[in-house]
Amino acid sequence: MNKGKYRSIAWIIISLMVVIGIAYPLFTPYNAGDYSFPASLHPTAVHLLGTDEMGHDLFSQLLAGFRVTIGIALSAAFLATLLGTVLAVLGAYYQGLVYAIITRLSELFLIVPEIVVLLFFAAIAQPRVYNSVLAIAFFSWSKVTRILQARAALAVNSEKVQYTLLLKGGLVDTLRKIWGDIYPAVSTLFIFQVSKATVYESTLAFFGIGDPLAVSWGRIIRMALDYPGVFRDGVYIWYLLPPIICISVFVVILSMLAFESE
């Protein structure tokens, strides 16, 4: 009954978070890298979430985290969805051996635990933001491919595509024809991948791997947990909980949206 209303509220929250990520320098009180403030302050009107043990303003760091985390999640999800879609369509178009190889590969990435591949990749590559994006995209494509393959095969076998093929239509023509059929699934998978990629990015930061200069939500959580006094005097309320809440809200809303349109 109220589903449309919930949906638009959910989209407004997500868009707001993305806008904060883009425009946070406009309203951030301090530079996120500035550690000239007194250390371990409790929240005041000047420092909304207090400061950390090094003297960073935590509210500014949290705002900067919007850009890092959401940026990495969006780019990784885009890459993964693109690669996964292309492979699924390739498999459906060429069929036979190509299809078999793509299926086997995507299943291989399902069998090997994702976190092992993720940490493996990130630990070996240089700790840069783009390597985190590559590491996440590297094993995420398989989920997109697995789900899209059946749909793409169905679409390729439909009459209009068979007609295109009959007229010697190439791969690009086929893709253009079936795009309308697979687009809803692709967009749902993209939303789902964004939420997954957010979790993976936080995971990398949480394990202390990934760009040490990029202050993401996961990194703030890691720093909070490394700070010995975090569970005394309720420090965790303004240090640990805000990034946890940001991640949870972003991820939960996105996956509800993906489930909804499924």
Residue count of the chain: 262
Based on the shown chain and the rule CB under 8 A, indicate whether residue 165 belongs to the binding site for another protein.
no
By the rule CB under 8 A, 256 interacts with another protein: yes
Residue of 210, 71, 157 whose CA lies nearest to 218? 210
| 150 near another protein (CB under 8 A) | no
Q: Is 113 in the site for another protein (CB under 8 A)?
A: yes
**Binding piece for another protein, criterion CB under 8 A, among 24-32, 38-46, 174-182, 244-252:** 244-252
How far apart, in whole angstroms, are the C-alpha atoms of residue 20 and residue 14? Answer: 10
Is 9 among the residues that bind another protein (CB under 8 A)? no
Among 13, 17, 83, 119, binds another protein (CB under 8 A): 119
Which CB sits closer to another protein, 89 or 253?
253
Number of residues lying near another protein (CB under 8 A): 44
Q: Does 236 bind another protein (CB under 8 A)?
A: yes
Stretch that binds another protein, among 28-36, 69-77, 175-183, 242-250 (CB under 8 A): 242-250
Residue 158 binds to another protein (criterion: CB under 8 A): no
Residue 137 token pair:
């995209």
Taking the least distance from each CB to another protein, the nearer of 164 and 198 is 198
Looking at 60, 106, 131, 174, which residue binds another protein (CB under 8 A)?
A: 131
- Residue number, 193 or 203, with CB nearest to another protein: 203
Binders of another protein among 211-230, rule CB under 8 A?
221, 225
Residues that bind another protein (CB under 8 A): 104-105, 107-108, 110-117, 119-126, 131, 134, 195, 199, 202-203, 206-209, 221, 225, 231, 236, 240, 244, 247-248, 251-252, 254-256, 259
